[in-house]
Amino acid sequence: MFVSKIVNASLSDRDLGFLIDTVSPDVKDKQTLKQILAQDRDFRNKFVGDKKVFKRVIHDDEIFLKISPILFFEILLRKTTQDFEKSSYTYEKSGRLRIPIFDSENLVSLLSNDSILTYLAHMLSTFTKIKSYTISFRVRDGIWHKVKFNDMDIESLARFSQSIEGEYRIVLYKRIADVCLFVLGIFPEYIENEYRYPLSGQIRSQTPGKLRLNPEKYEEEGRKFYKLVSECLISEDMVASNIFTNLHEHFQEAKKPLNFLAEHYLQYKKLHVFG
């Protein structure tokens, strides 16, 4: 199943070389060290979470020429986990106020699940390039229907998912939930600006033919579609099903690390990283 491949995927040779050159540049037998990193998950994770690695990637505007986006986001998420471990609370925005929420322990617990953290890193990497599609499918004999959509448009993704079956439908369910989590986590201001007028705070008038969701509806849709994915996978891949059950049940907690890294690590780089 595609999800198992995601969470069990090995780092590329280039990624391993980058980690070694950053953490242990003087090591003589780099090939043997690469093999150890590929085989020992805990040892590998220590390299990915090393502060020298974070410092190197965060200041390099051309980092995607040197490492994969998946490794980049895993580095940021492991640094986020370390930051949460040092504090008993995080902040949530309410209007112009920043309210302390004592939830760090729960967030660390979620991110300590290696499958969850790896999945989130992969999920973020899929948004570095947005794709558009035109797909034709047969409605009945002699009748074909053409659908155009991009993989950030949850309305067209949901509509198209009703026309197909099997693993392709699961992929669309997963993408819808991922989009909801991604936008709430990385670009929450986009939702507010689309839903409310920035100065008055009043809800914008509805444009005919355009779906406009508030943050609560994004979360509701994200939770719903993660649950659908989990239910589709429960008899096929229990490990993958558990990942999506966790994201369904802990959607708010999964959003928080993304908010944190977007605000503290990406800041004005967001549009560059997620072009």
Please write the tens of the pLDDT for every residue from 5-15.
777 788 999 99
The single residue listed with the structure tokens 């390039």 is 129
Binned at pLDDT 50, 70 and 90, residue 191 comes out as confident
Instruction: Give the global pTM.
Output: 0.88
**Beta pairing partners, 137:** 145
Hey, what's the torsion of the CAs at 184, 189, 191, 195, to 10 degrees? Answer: 150
Distances (CA, A) of 44 to 16, 32, 105, 131, 225: 9, 13, 24, 32, 32
pLDDT tens column, 127-156? 998 776 666 656 567 777 666 667 888 888
| Rounded distance between C-alpha atoms, residue 172 and residue 262, angstroms | 25
Q: Are 57 and 75 in contact (CB under 8 A)?
A: yes
Q: What phi, psi does 31 have (nearest 5°)? A: -65, -40
Distances (CA, A) of 173 to 120, 158, 180: 16, 7, 11
pLDDT tens column, 21-34? 999 999 999 999 99
Residue 169 pLDDT:
87
Q: Are 119 and 73 in contact (CB under 8 A)?
A: no
**Beta pairing partners, 220:** none
Q: How far is CA 223 from the centre of its chain?
A: 14
Other Cβ atoms closer than 10 A to 165: 9
- pLDDT at residue 239 above 60? yes
194 vs 216, residue with greater confidence: 216
Q: Which of 273, 268, 239 is nearest to 119 (CA)?
A: 239
The length of the chain, given as a count of residues: 275
pLDDT tens column, 53-73? 999 999 999 999 999 999 999
| Rounded distance between C-alpha atoms, residue 126 and residue 174, angstroms | 12
